[in-house]
Amino acid sequence: MSFIEDLMPFLYLKNIRGRAQNSSETLLQLISESMATKSCGGTKVEYCRDDSVALVLKMIAIAAILTAGVAGVAIPLVGKKRRFLRTDGNLFVAAKAFAAGVILATGFVHMLPDGSAALSDSCLPKIPWSKFPFSGFIAMMASLATLVVDFVGTQYYEQKQEKRRGSGELGRDGLLDSVASTGIVPAERVETKDRNGKVFGEEEGGGMHIVGIHAHAAHHRHSHPHGQQACEGHVSENSHGHSHGFADGDEDSGTRHIVVSQILELGIVSHSVIIGLSLGVSQSPCTIRPLIGALSFHQFFEGFALGGCISQAQFKTFKATLMAFFFAITTPAGIGIGSGIASFYNPNSPRALVVEGIFDSVSAGILVYMALVDLIAADFLSKRMSCNVRLQIVSYIALFLGAGLMSLLAIWA
């Protein structure tokens, strides 16, 4: 018995080792099957194939989508100096709501179903692809990752601005050279009085204290009433031309617009590459024709939303132009690359399906987060929207119209 008892651990370890070896071999086999480049018999055969006509349509698609993208992203950037297209105007808010609906529908109706269809295709091994909803999981994780990047990016830019405010602004006498840039108000420079006749910042004993960086915002909080009076004060303030360049007068929202514009561009570019490649590798005119109009519409309003965010972020001209250029060129470049590799690239292979499914799912997560949190919630939950019933109605109509029309395009694209 003692000999058998001594031998049991070795037999047990041998059994574990065998199971581990079998599991690793199975995993490698699944990975190799998922990354295969040969065409799968389970996918649909492409009908209406005509290489020469398809090439002409691809050139038309590149021109149309490039024009639509440039026009969409340029209107908010060029028009911000025009009164009716300013980023703090009602027309811009309504148009941005329409564009947000387009982006939301792109994530929910176009990207997520495409990712789910690719990752659950019969061409892929049933284990693990058909046993778990990878598309929804990847989209969820992409949304959460976008939240983390959004938060960290905002914190980074806020700290960067704080350092800039604190460096080089104190003169030899210890007073600030620029009161307006920091909001720190020395006692002898304060002239604003409240309703009780006291100078703003004056304490009960008659002494003065230096107000911190948020003095200007604090002054607004003290002087602006709440409820209906707050709306009246908001309208009155806007009618007197007092503006910080943002819809709600929040100086810190400039940081948010910087982060939002960069993350939104990341999400748009990531799925634009896949869209361009998918159109470029297709040799079917029946597939390409409806995509030209659908993608041009899609590109225009995505560009408008992105251009609005870039305009609100108040980037320098070179950086704003660079971001607009990368957005406008991504889908046409994807079409060009797809056309170049169409002869040897197999879109019906397991590898292509996995890559396309993952990219579509990631893009869906990013776009849904950006549309709901940084575009829709940021505008629809603002004081400006709550104080203007007409703007609320128009914006809601524009939002649902944009989402509905973009969803309708799923019939053709």
Nearest to 180 by CA among 195, 192, 193, 165: 165
Find out whether 121 and 345 touch, Cβ atoms under 8 Å: no
Residue 231 has pLDDT above 50, yes or no: yes
- How confident is the prediction for the chain on average, in pLDDT? 76
Which of 273-287, 323-337, 378-392 bottoms out in mean pLDDT, i.e. has the lowest?
273-287
pLDDT at position 34: 61
DSSP class of residue 175 equals S
Nearest to 93 by CA among 260, 234, 226, 248: 248
pLDDT at position 37: 59
Could you read off the pLDDT of 293-309 as tens digits, one per residue? 888 998 999 899 899 88
Residue 245 has pLDDT above 50, yes or no: no
The pTM score is: 0.70
Q: Is 248 left (phi over 0), alpha (psi -120 to 50) or beta?
A: alpha
| Block residue for tokens 């006749």 | 197
Give the whole-number percent of the chain exceeding pLDDT 90.
28
Q: How far apart are CA 239 and CA 242, in angstroms?
A: 8
More confident residue, 81 or 344: 344
pLDDT at position 72: 92
CA-CA-CA-CA torsion for 165, 166, 167, 171, nearest 10 degrees?
Answer: 100
Structure tokens belonging to residue 67: 């024009």
Find out whether 276 and 334 touch, Cβ atoms under 8 Å: yes
Find out whether 102 and 407 touch, Cβ atoms under 8 Å: no
Q: Which residues contact 16 (CB under 8 A, 6 or more apart)?
A: none
Which of 172-186, 285-299, 330-344 bottoms out in mean pLDDT, i.e. has the lowest?
172-186
Residue 394 has pLDDT above 90, yes or no: yes
- What Cα–Cα distance (Å) separates residue 326 from each residue in 268, 292, 294, 303, 334? 10, 20, 20, 11, 12
Could you read off the pLDDT of 123-181 as tens digits, one per residue? 888 888 888 999 999 999 999 999 998 898 888 888 888 887 777 544 444 444 444 44
- Coil vs helix vs strand at 185: strand
- The mean per-residue pLDDT over the stretch 251-273 comes to 80
Phi, psi of 170 (to 5 degrees): -90, 130
Which of 11-15, 55-59, 311-315 bottoms out in mean pLDDT, i.e. has the lowest?
11-15
